[in-house]
Chains A and B, each alone.
Chain A
Amino acid sequence: QVQLRESGSGLVKPSQTLSLSCAVSGGSISSGAYSWSWIRQPPGKGLEWIGSILHTGNTYYASSLRSRVTISGDWSKNQFSLTVNYVTAADSAVYYCARRPDYGGIDYWGQGTLVTVSS
């Protein structure tokens, strides 16, 4: 059974850096059949795709966040990470990590972690 678990800072000050990690068990992020994504959801609002990393290390980002976001993979630890620079209150959200097979929709999600940007 594949499991994803987010961890990281739950409270970040404005203008600082948000850092989250997603530990994957029951499957390898090195597998060529999947991409690994970060998705967020501000309180009471809809889902926003942030970006994805492939087994090749290639990354793709939302246009609105590309200048501030980095997704990286640690293949030895079987985890991938998200950093968002220069955060503002608008970055406050539940952040999910997720797995998507190449052929379809996201089949496994983390439980989500709430990140609040506040001084």
Chain B
Amino acid sequence: DIQMTQSPSTLSASVGDRVTITCRASQSFNTLLAWYQQKPGKAPKLLVYGASILDDGVPSRFSGSGSGTEFTLTISSLQPDDFATYYCKQYHSYPLSFGGGTKVEIK
């Protein structure tokens, strides 16, 4: 099974900051990784798939990169709407697996 480890678990940042979240996989795979944003009481929302492809309607300040065992989600300029929890998920092989999540808080 592939284990996904996200870091940091919590991140304090200000509006306008550049933010990077990292997801490390216990086994190497290509780019079958997605990133989701979740706000309290809501279902997650897809941001990125294929490690770097933005889903329709996702602002361009979000970007994803990586392959192998290390993947990153970057927010180039944090906006008030971006304070949320972010999860990575590998879909390279079953069983699928999520990272533990990164909560982005207001500094």
Binding site for B on A (CB under 8 A): 37, 46-49, 51-52, 60-63, 96, 98, 100, 103-107, 109-112
Residues of B within 8 A of A106 (CB): 34, 36, 44, 46, 89
Partner of B89, one of A49, A110, A112: A49
Contact B44 A109 (CB under 8 A): yes
- Of all chain A residues, the one with the shortest Cβ separation from B53 is A104
B54 to chain A, nearest CB (A): 11
What is the CA–CA distance of A46 and B87 in the complex, to the nearest angstrom? 8
What is the CA–CA distance of A104 and B90 in the complex, to the nearest angstrom? 10
B98 sits at the interface (CB 8 A) = yes
Contact B94 A105 (CB under 8 A): no
Contact A52 B94 (CB under 8 A): yes
Contact B55 A105 (CB under 8 A): yes
A100-B91, A106-B36 given; A49·B96 CB < 8 A: yes
Q: Please name the 8 residue pairs, one residue from A and one from B, whose CB atoms are nearest each other, closest first.
A: A105-B34, A104-B49, A109-B43, A60-B94, A105-B49, A46-B101, A105-B46, A49-B96
Binding site for A on B (CB under 8 A): 1, 34-36, 38, 43-44, 46, 48-50, 53, 55, 87, 89, 91, 94-101
Interface core residue of B43, B55, B89 (most chain A CB under 10 Å): B43
B65 to chain A, nearest CB (A): 16
Residues of A within 8 A of B36 (CB): 47, 105-106
Residues of B within 8 A of A63 (CB): 1, 95
Partner of A52, one of B53, B87, B96: B96
Contact B53 A47 (CB under 8 A): no
A70 to chain B, nearest CB (A): 15
What is the CA–CA distance of A48 and B4 in the complex, to the nearest angstrom? 12
Residues of B within 8 A of A46 (CB): 87, 98-101
What is the CA–CA distance of A100 and B49 in the complex, to the nearest angstrom? 11
Interface core residue of B35, B46, B50 (most chain A CB under 10 Å): B46
20 additional contacts, CB 8 Å, given A47-B89, A100-B91, A109-B43?
Answer: A37-B96, A46-B87, A46-B99, A47-B38, A47-B98, A60-B96, A61-B95, A62-B95, A63-B1, A96-B43, A104-B34, A104-B46, A104-B49, A104-B55, A105-B48, A105-B49, A106-B46, A107-B46, A110-B43, A112-B43
